[in-house]
Amino acid sequence: MFDLQGKTALVTGAGSGIGAAIAQLFARRGAAVAVADRDAAAAGRVATGILEAGGTAAAYTCDVSDAASVDALFRAVTAATSRLDILVNNAGIAHVGTIETTTPEDLDRVYRVNVVGVYLCARAAVPIMLRQGKGVILNMASLASLVGIPDRFAYSMSKGAVLTMTRSIAVDYVKRGIRCNCICPARIHTPFVDGYLAANYPGKEPEMIKALSEYQPIGRMGQPDEVASLALYLCSDESAFVTGAAYPLNGGVQAV
């Protein structure tokens, strides 16, 4: 089950955290993985690790908020592999603040990466997948697209858009061989979280880790590998009957 042999998968934001875990797992399952990230060195490290483990991967640099950069990425990937079976739109940024503290510049920055980035990559992938007659797009939404979370105005806005884009793509292409779903994680413990806490709560990191963990009734944050496992299912042929779905991965947040 969950065999990706012969498939090409492009994962954005794959230089660390959730994206890296997805790229690594997909490679272990046989996919040729295009590891894309704005940070060229980070993408290179992940791709090198996959190659050293016996997998197939190549690193690409891309700013998903820039149309020219996205077009160049997809040209390069299809030139190297001739096909694209899976697109994982994982690249994204966070923002903390209410509507009062969110500046127009803040909103635009989050929108450009989290919303326009998904749009540009999906827009580039769809014609390729239509020519092939099939394909899978997986978007990374968030718990914030399903419930209200304090101080996450811009981020919630962006992830709500990702959720509705997912459903729109699924409906538009359900008869044409393209499936589109999204994952809605709660807090996942990644290097980004550690860096964010160090920058914004210096000296209070253990206290904040405890608070972030306890937000989930299960008592901890999720792990990138757990998100990757769900991504593998949704991008494999075992989920062939699943499209337009938003999968919660939240340690029981919505159960209480």
The answer on 112 and 215 residing in a single domain is: no
80-110 exposure pattern, b = at least 16 Cβ within 10 A, e = fewer: ebeebbbbbbbbbbbbebeeeebeeebbeeb
Confidence at residue 53, expressed as pLDDT on a 0 to 100 scale: 98
The answer on 203 and 125 residing in a single domain is: no
Q: In total, how many domains does the chain have?
A: 2
The answer on 216 and 120 residing in a single domain is: no
Confidence at residue 199, expressed as pLDDT on a 0 to 100 scale: 85
The answer on 214 and 137 residing in a single domain is: no
Confidence at residue 15, expressed as pLDDT on a 0 to 100 scale: 98
Confidence at residue 76, expressed as pLDDT on a 0 to 100 scale: 98
| Dihedral angle sign, alpha carbons of residues 115, 216, 148, 106 | negative
Among all residues, which ones are annotated catalytic? 155
The answer on 74 and 200 residing in a single domain is: no
Confidence at residue 200, expressed as pLDDT on a 0 to 100 scale: 82
The answer on 16 and 113 residing in a single domain is: yes
Confidence at residue 192, expressed as pLDDT on a 0 to 100 scale: 85
The answer on 50 and 40 residing in a single domain is: yes
The answer on 232 and 139 residing in a single domain is: yes
For each of the chain's 256 residues, which pLDDT tens digit applies? Answer: 999 999 999 999 999 999 999 999 999 999 999 999 999 999 999 999 999 999 999 999 999 999 999 999 999 999 999 899 999 999 999 999 999 999 999 999 999 999 999 999 999 999 999 999 999 999 999 999 999 999 999 999 999 999 999 999 999 999 999 999 999 999 999 988 998 899 888 999 999 999 999 999 999 999 999 999 999 999 999 999 999 999 999 999 999 8
Within a domain: residue 2? no
Within a domain: residue 165? yes
Confidence at residue 98, expressed as pLDDT on a 0 to 100 scale: 97
Within a domain: residue 236? yes
Within a domain: residue 256? no
Give the residue among 157, 161, 130, 176 at the shortest CA–CA distance from 246.
161
Within a domain: residue 1? no
The answer on 94 and 58 residing in a single domain is: yes
Residue 100 CA from chain centroid, whole number: 28
239: CATH: 3.40.50.720
Write out the residue range of the structural domain in which residue 66 sits. 8-186+223-247
The answer on 217 and 99 residing in a single domain is: no
Within a domain: residue 137? yes
pTM: 0.96
The answer on 61 and 30 residing in a single domain is: yes
Question: What number of other Cβ atoms are within 10 A of residue 232's Cβ?
Answer: 22
The answer on 153 and 65 residing in a single domain is: yes
